[in-house]
């Protein structure tokens, strides 16, 4: 992916986001089992990038955990928290193919800006609504 984003100011953050989302797909969904499938989509434009990871789904909803919480083990549970702080937008939706988690870094494309229409099975988190660590 780094080659796709060569010259982009978001390349390093995008690599971290992709690593976190892909790892979550393998650890927390049916995609991590034998014959599992994960689909990665990277979209680049002049002022941003979108990384979407589609997995085979899970009955559990994604959870963004505060790493300062004593209930969270030090070695796990921070991937979506980190992703949410690197991204300007983080959302997910479930459909017949599984669950897609997408992060937008930089300025959203004009068609992605503004609040998405309300849909069942779709969650969108405004990044400014996620508390800073320990806050």
In angstroms, the first-to-last Cα distance of the chain is: 33
What does the block give as tokens for 129?
A: 């609504």
Q: What does the pLDDT read at residue 50? A: 96
pTM: 0.77
- In 3D space, the residue among 17, 6, 8, 7 whose CA is nearest the CA of residue 41 turns out to be 17
- Please list the pLDDT of the chain residue by residue as tens digits (135 residues): 778 899 899 999 999 999 999 999 999 999 999 999 999 999 999 899 999 999 999 988 888 877 676 665 555 667 888 999 999 999 999 999 899 999 999 988 766 445 555 544 554 444 455 555 555
What does the block give as tokens for 19?
A: 């690593």
Q: What does the pLDDT read at residue 109? A: 77
Residue ranges and CATH numbers for the domains of the chain are: 11-129 (3.30.565.10)
């Amino acid at each position: 992916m780094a080659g796709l984003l060569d010259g982009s100011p978001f390349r390093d953050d995008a690599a971290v986001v992709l690593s976190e989302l892909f790892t979550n797909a393998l650890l927390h969904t049916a995609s991590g089992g034998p014959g599992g499938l994960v689909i990665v989509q990277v979209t680049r434009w002049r002022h941003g990038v979108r990384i979407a990871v589609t997995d085979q789904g899970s009955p559990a909803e994604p959870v963004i955990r505060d790493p300062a919480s004593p209930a969270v083990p030090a070695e796990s549970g921070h991937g979506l928290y980190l992703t949410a702080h690197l991204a300007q937008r983080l959302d997910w939706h479930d459909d017949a193919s599984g669950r897609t988690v997408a992060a937008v870094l930089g300025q959203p494309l004009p068609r992605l800006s503004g609040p998405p229409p309300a849909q069942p099975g779709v969650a969108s988190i405004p990044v400014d609504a996620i508390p800073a660590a320990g806050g």
